[in-house]
Amino acid sequence: MRILESIENRMNISRRDFMSSVSAACCSILVKGCANNAKPTRPPSVILILSDDQGYADIGVQGPKDVLTPNMDSIAQAGVRFTDGYVSSPVCSPSRAGIMTGRYQQRFGHWFNGYPPSENGVHLGLPLSETTLAQLLKTAGYHTGLIGKWHLGADPGYLPQDRGFDEFFGFLRSLHSYTNWEGGIDGPIYRGREPEHEKEYLTEAFTREAVDFIGRNAETPFFLYLCYNAVHTPLEVPDKYLQRHPDIADPERRKYLAMLSAMDDGIGAVLDKLKECRIADDTLVVFLSDNGAVGQTVSNYPFRGAKKTIREGGLRVPFLMQWPKHIQAGQVYREPVIALDLFPTIAAAAGAVLPKDRSYDGVCLLPYLNGEIKNPPHDMLFWKWLEGEAARSGKWKLFKSKEGILSLYDIKNDAGETADLSGANVGIVKHLDTALSAWVSQLAPPLWTQGKSYPVSK
């Protein structure tokens, strides 16, 4: 550690940037040499699967008895399950902005969801100053596709095709009916830039398009961003999926689990297509939810809070990754990671060079998963939302209300954030609060106002 500090001081860079550079270098070495001495014949294809509003406990591998998700579970069994996997925002659009850039979205003013196409001349979308993961992978020769929910801009210049995606099939805004495709709740379904007259249950349509994309592009490296809108409302699902849960008494819970099952079938079809095309070993697959679940029929157990809060229930999500022969199967990784890590991890696997004109908050996870780096990937993680601010370091989580009231939780032993330990740990509170304030000082003002009023869960 003293050697690292000496090098860091001589280079005059921050510890975060220094450790990120170490991680990136190790990541590059691992990808070139690869775990278990397996040498890829080409860069891997990448499939990033995002569910919408899925609860932490609403996936079989996390332990619930009423959830049927064998295909999601298989990703964990073939790779790694992150028990402490976070997103950078408790709502959809900002979370997706973080995923697509590898940076805390507040650094570039993307704090809130955007609903209309524009507001007072401000485009409610991912700022054009930011480089998306799709744009980066195109520089490395990847063919790119987005299927499903975008929610990062509906104005010209902000559409998926303007942000690095060669192909797009899906919708642009925050939610969509699964059965009313002609206009729907939030605009039409598009193929490219043209409305599509879709007739299939939307989850199944997204699966159909994903399988087709894989089949057409199997011979060259591709990036598929598969963004199911399941299990976001409205709760709409064909009877054939409802029949899988005959013993669920609550009709809303039954619909939710049926929608989850339909998405799981889709993920299974995607994984089967990789095997059929003989590229399963050459494909990095990631699955996570964009934020925690909300409502009485979902489960963020054992956490406090839900979507729209920066309690654990709004931020900690199902988070899985597989890359056969490169990530050891069956791992359970218990150090905190964040969705921002996906950008540098995928970039390193693909051999893409990160832009030098900005800093990244995510780190490449591969050397941590393969044991090359023993320390946790992050000294601290940070969040800020309407209800306040939060920081996590190791087992400690500091919560700072919008009124400035501080509380401290041992999140490893008190996942429900029930016992405030701030009084007995004044030094830890001061340390975390100082770091949190320093992070907040780096953030840009919101580019637009909060479009809808969100109640704050206590």
- Listed by start position, the domains of the chain span 40-354, 381-440
Answer whether CATH 3.40.630.10 is correct for domain 381-440: no
Q: What is the pLDDT of residue 394?
A: 97
Given a contact cutoff of 8 angstroms between Cβ atoms, the answer to whether 106 and 444 are in contact is yes
411 closest CA partner among 432, 430, 396, 429 = 396
Residue 134 dihedral angles phi and psi, to the nearest 5°: -65, -45
Q: Which residues contact 3 (CB under 8 A, 6 or more apart)?
A: none
Q: Where are the alpha helices (DSSP H) in 36-180?
A: 70-78, 92-101, 133-139
* Number of residues that make up the chain: 458
Given a contact cutoff of 8 angstroms between Cβ atoms, the answer to whether 40 and 325 are in contact is no
pLDDT values of the chain reduced to their tens digit, one per residue, 458 residues: 333 333 333 334 444 444 444 444 445 444 433 333 334 468 999 999 999 999 999 999 998 889 999 999 999 999 999 999 999 999 999 999 999 999 999 999 999 997 666 767 788 899 999 999 999 999 999 999 999 999 999 999 999 999 999 999 999 989 999 997 665 567 899 999 999 989 999 999 999 999 999 999 999 999 999 999 999 999 999 999 999 999 999 999 999 999 999 999 999 999 999 999 999 999 999 999 999 998 877 889 899 999 999 999 999 999 999 999 999 999 999 999 999 999 999 999 999 999 999 999 999 999 999 999 999 999 999 999 999 999 999 999 999 999 999 999 999 999 999 999 999 999 999 999 999 999 999 999 999 887 643 333 33
Buried b (16+ CB within 10 A) or exposed e, 281-308: ebbbbbbbbbbbbbbebbbbeebbbbbb
Q: Is the pTM of this model over 0.85?
A: yes
Measure the CA–CA gap between 304 and 418, rounded to whole angstroms.
8
Q: What is the pLDDT of residue 4?
A: 34
Measure the CA–CA gap between 202 and 211, rounded to whole angstroms.
14
Our CA dihedral for 277, 280, 284, 289, rounded to 10 degrees, sits at 90
State which CATH number among 3.40.50.1820, 3.30.70.1150, 3.40.720.10, 3.40.50.970 fits the domain covering 40-354: 3.40.720.10
Active-site hit among 27, 92, 227, 364: 92
Q: Which residues contact 143 (CB under 8 A, 6 or more apart)?
A: 166, 167, 217, 220, 221, 222, 223
Measure the CA–CA gap between 224 and 216, rounded to whole angstroms.
12
Looking only at the bridges linking them, the beta strands covering 283-289 and 45-51 are parallel
| Burial class for 49, CB neighbours closer than 10 Å (0-12, 13-18, 19+) | buried
4 closest CA partner among 347, 379, 349 = 379
- Give the DSSP H/E element, type plus range, for residue 385: strand 381-385
- 3-state DSSP helix/strand/coil percent for the chain, to nearest 5? 35, 15, 50
Given a contact cutoff of 8 angstroms between Cβ atoms, the answer to whether 47 and 286 are in contact is yes
Measure the CA–CA gap between 275 and 271, rounded to whole angstroms.
7
Rg (CA), the chain: 21
Concerning whether 92 is annotated as a catalytic residue, the answer is yes
Dihedral sign (CA 215, 174, 101, 20): negative
Tokens of 455: 């109640």
Measure the CA–CA gap between 279 and 123, rounded to whole angstroms.
39
Given a contact cutoff of 8 angstroms between Cβ atoms, the answer to whether 211 and 269 are in contact is yes
Q: What is the pLDDT of residue 181?
A: 65
Concerning whether 27 is annotated as a catalytic residue, the answer is no
Active-site hit among 151, 232, 245, 378: 151
Q: What is the pLDDT of residue 299?
A: 86
Distance of CA 47 to the CA centre of its chain: 12
**Bond into 31 cis (ω within 30):** no
- Give the DSSP H/E element, type plus range, for residue 397: strand 396-401
What is the amino acid identity at position 442? Q
Give the HSE-up count for residue 264: Cα atoms under 13 Å, Cβ half-sphere.
22
Q: Which residues contact 56 (CB under 8 A, 6 or more apart)?
A: 62, 292, 293, 299, 300, 301, 303, 313, 316, 317, 318
